[in-house]
Chain A
Amino acid sequence: MIEQGFRGNRFYKVWLAALLVVAANGIYYYLRQLDEGLAITGMSRDISWGFYISNFTFLVGVAASAVMLVIPYYLHHYKKFSRVVVFGEWLAVAAVVMCGLFIMADMGQPQRAFNILLHPTPGSVLFWDMNVLTGYVFINFIVAWTTLKAEKSGLKLPGWVKPLVFISIPWAVAIHTVTAFLYAGLPGRHLWLTAIMAPRFLASAFASGPAFLLILLHILKKIARYEVEPEAISTLSKIMIYGMITNIFFYAMEFFTAFYSNIPDHKETLEYLFFGLEGHDKLVPWVRSSALMGIIAVVMLLFSKVRQNEGTLVFGAVLIFLSTYIDKGMALVIGGFIPSTLGEVVEYTLTWPEIAISLGIWAIGFFLISVFFKMTVNVRRQNAR
């Protein structure tokens, strides 16, 4: 069935080839990184997690968002999602693969990655994160593949898939909660040391994931001329908006606690992000645009006319995607290190090798998305004949 993912016209083949070129460029810089060390990235002694972990954090959210399709369809028999569920699951698989690649790119000694399994440490959140992410990619892949295979051969869905689907629901919540726990339990990092970290992560996931999926489905419609049920689009957009509203609300809660309590440790990072601190303000334009984009998108999409118009809906989804990418990725992860544990404001500058490697990983992710989506569309088209 996978060969259906490579069947397409010339433009599709060119697209896949272009993605492979970007991926190859990323691999070249990764080999340089293996040789020279992570010094070629922008990370430093004070900012020890950077762009790679930012992308990882954002993509775990995208992966978790598949649950927002699975719950209505499998748990509540919302038939309108019948065509769209499998796309959400494929997006989740591609997102988790990208997460794994970003982690490997970030590690100082990637060839020792197996040590996490050889020397299990149940007290370490990272150990659990690795487990749940690996489990999630398997669960989602198996469920998506089997449902599509069943569709292809016209057979009923095998009984053993249902329990897997039900497991994937708390599992999706788990992957993002555990990822939030990576941050939320560290005593020296006050931007992250908040109980609302996990809820914030989930809210932002339920905004960014559906946003991403809406964009992809729009591309699918325009380029492959394949459509899902319009009610599915409408429901997805509602999930996205509620997710984003909750995300903004949680963010506002952080502001209140920080500034009303007036505790410097709580305030300083938010000050750095939104207003600059001690003259350092590299991230301010990014963070402010992220906030602006988020608010504009939410206000815009409150109006049903805007939601029902494809063009404006996708525009809103793009705004939400970019807003959450900047906020959850750059602002949250890098902001956590500023000011440093020694009270200094040290800034972070991306380097080209870092960008190249990240683009390469995104290219691999898009390659997977393209192949999985194309496979699904081709299989369904063949069935329809």
Chain B
Amino acid sequence: MNGDEKVSRKEFLKLSGVAAIFGLGGPLAFEILAAGEYSAENDLAGTIRYGMVVDMRKCKEGCNDCAAACHFKHNVPDHKSKKIEVKWLWKEPAKHLFQDRDYAIEADVSPDKPFLTLCNHCKHPSCVRVCPTQATWKRKEDGIVMMDFHRCIGCRFCMAACPYGSRSFNYAEPRPAIAKLNPGFPTRTRGVVEKCSFCAELAGTGEKPYCVSSCKEGALTFGNLNDPGSEVRKLLRENPSMKRKAGLGTEPSVFYLV
């Protein structure tokens, strides 16, 4: 095309149309892929944001009451195999949870001390963002990152996205590996992902999650992080605390006192 040729009106309109689509598509793509409503970007003041404070000063070494209670109540299987294990709440050496500390000279935490870990129910959960079927989502009313086992297709994208390793997949049929079935709660089936649910079935009843109520040392405190008068907020005001992988922007709701 040299400079002399004229562009017909029809061609001009066609070109502008195509250009407009691209022009509008850009901001639209940005909107769609932005974090938006799939994280708790929206103002959460006035709603509940459940969180937990784990006081590692009180957590007793060798004690596993909380995990045992949780796993019994929720029919979490014990496959006795690290490869296909399913766990909602467990203890992990501190060096695995807090990888950016110089344990050699920062004396307040021993690298091998078993720390309790669970799903952090992040404010901006990356697992929620990637789920293609909304089988996991962040509840607006209380901030719990919830699982819908009926909808999960088992693609495990959420497991890849979670920076904390909180999620487990049912690689094998869970029932044969459940020592004592709790008849009041369903099991899951193979092929779905599961994780701690902050005992969503108890939310709204006033009961604390099973791990919290079963801890004899009182190391676990659960409550509304949005309420400045709650016990969890009080603990966080009065004690220095840590959270896992703080720089990633997920903003976990689980805090550790050391």
Binding site for B on A (CB under 8 A): 36-39, 41, 43-46, 48-49, 103, 106-110, 112-113, 115-116, 118-119, 121-127, 130, 182, 185-189, 264-265, 336-337, 340-344, 346
A164 to chain B, nearest CB (A): 15
B193 to chain A, nearest CB (A): 8
Task: Count contacts on B: residues with CB < 8 A to the other chain.
Answer: 52
Closest partner residue, chain B, to A341 (CB atom): B165
Q: Do residues B134 and A126 form an inter-chain contact, with CB atoms below 8 A?
A: no
Given A37-B172, A38-B169: A186 touches B126 (CB 8 Å cut-off): yes
- Cross-chain contact of B192 among A44, A49, A109, A127 (Cβ < 8 A): A109
* B 167-198 binary contact with A (CB < 8 Å = 1; else 0): 01111110000000000000000111100000
- Cross-chain contact of A48 among B156, B172, B173, B245 (Cβ < 8 A): B156
Q: Do residues B99 and A37 form an inter-chain contact, with CB atoms below 8 A?
A: no
Q: Do residues A116 and B153 form an inter-chain contact, with CB atoms below 8 A?
A: yes
Closest partner residue, chain A, to B193 (CB atom): A108
Q: Do residues A341 and B132 form an inter-chain contact, with CB atoms below 8 A?
A: no
Q: Cα distance A337–B169 when bound, in Å?
A: 15
Q: Do residues B153 and A107 form an inter-chain contact, with CB atoms below 8 A?
A: yes
Q: Is the C-beta of B162 less than 8 angstroms from some C-beta in chain A?
A: yes
In the complex, chain B residues whose CB is within 8 Å of the CB of A118: 133
- Cross-chain contact of B161 among A45, A106, A186 (Cβ < 8 A): A186
In the complex, chain A residues whose CB is within 8 Å of the CB of B245: 188
- Cross-chain contact of B33 among A123, A189, A340 (Cβ < 8 A): A123
Given A119-B151, A189-B160, A343-B95: A108 touches B191 (CB 8 Å cut-off): yes
Given A116-B132, A127-B132: A36 touches B173 (CB 8 Å cut-off): yes
Binding site for A on B (CB under 8 A): 32-36, 38, 82-86, 92, 95-97, 99, 126, 129-135, 151-157, 159-165, 168-173, 190-193, 245, 248-250
Q: Do residues B160 and A49 form an inter-chain contact, with CB atoms below 8 A?
A: yes
Given A124-B130, A126-B132: A343 touches B99 (CB 8 Å cut-off): yes
Q: Do residues A44 and B82 form an inter-chain contact, with CB atoms below 8 A?
A: yes
B155 to chain A, nearest CB (A): 6
In the complex, chain B residues whose CB is within 8 Å of the CB of A127: 132
A375 to chain B, nearest CB (A): 34
Closest partner residue, chain A, to B173 (CB atom): A37
Q: Do residues B170 and A340 form an inter-chain contact, with CB atoms below 8 A?
A: no
**B interface: dominant SS:** loop
Q: Do residues B162 and A188 form an inter-chain contact, with CB atoms below 8 A?
A: yes
Q: Sample 8 A-B pairs with CB under 8 A, ordered by A number.
A: A45-B168, A48-B156, A107-B155, A108-B154, A112-B151, A112-B152, A112-B153, A341-B163
Q: Do residues A108 and B153 form an inter-chain contact, with CB atoms below 8 A?
A: yes
Q: Do residues A122 and B32 form an inter-chain contact, with CB atoms below 8 A?
A: yes
In the complex, chain A residues whose CB is within 8 Å of the CB of B34: 123
In the complex, chain B residues whose CB is within 8 Å of the CB of A130: 132
Given A45-B82, A130-B132, A341-B163: A109 touches B96 (CB 8 Å cut-off): no
Q: Cα distance A121–B163 when bound, in Å?
A: 21
Q: Do residues B248 and A108 form an inter-chain contact, with CB atoms below 8 A?
A: no
In the complex, chain A residues whose CB is within 8 Å of the CB of B165: 45-46, 340-342
Q: Cα distance A341–B167 when bound, in Å?
A: 11
Q: Do residues B92 and A342 form an inter-chain contact, with CB atoms below 8 A?
A: yes
Q: Do residues B160 and A186 form an inter-chain contact, with CB atoms below 8 A?
A: yes
Q: Cα distance A346–B83 when bound, in Å?
A: 9
Q: Do residues A187 and B250 form an inter-chain contact, with CB atoms below 8 A?
A: yes
Q: Do residues A107 and B154 form an inter-chain contact, with CB atoms below 8 A?
A: yes
Q: Cα distance A343–B99 when bound, in Å?
A: 7
In the complex, chain A residues whose CB is within 8 Å of the CB of B133: 112, 115-116, 118-119, 121
In the complex, chain B residues whose CB is within 8 Å of the CB of A106: 155-156
Q: Do residues A123 and B155 form an inter-chain contact, with CB atoms below 8 A?
A: no
In the complex, chain A residues whose CB is within 8 Å of the CB of B85: 45
A235 to chain B, nearest CB (A): 27
Q: Do residues A342 and B96 form an inter-chain contact, with CB atoms below 8 A?
A: yes
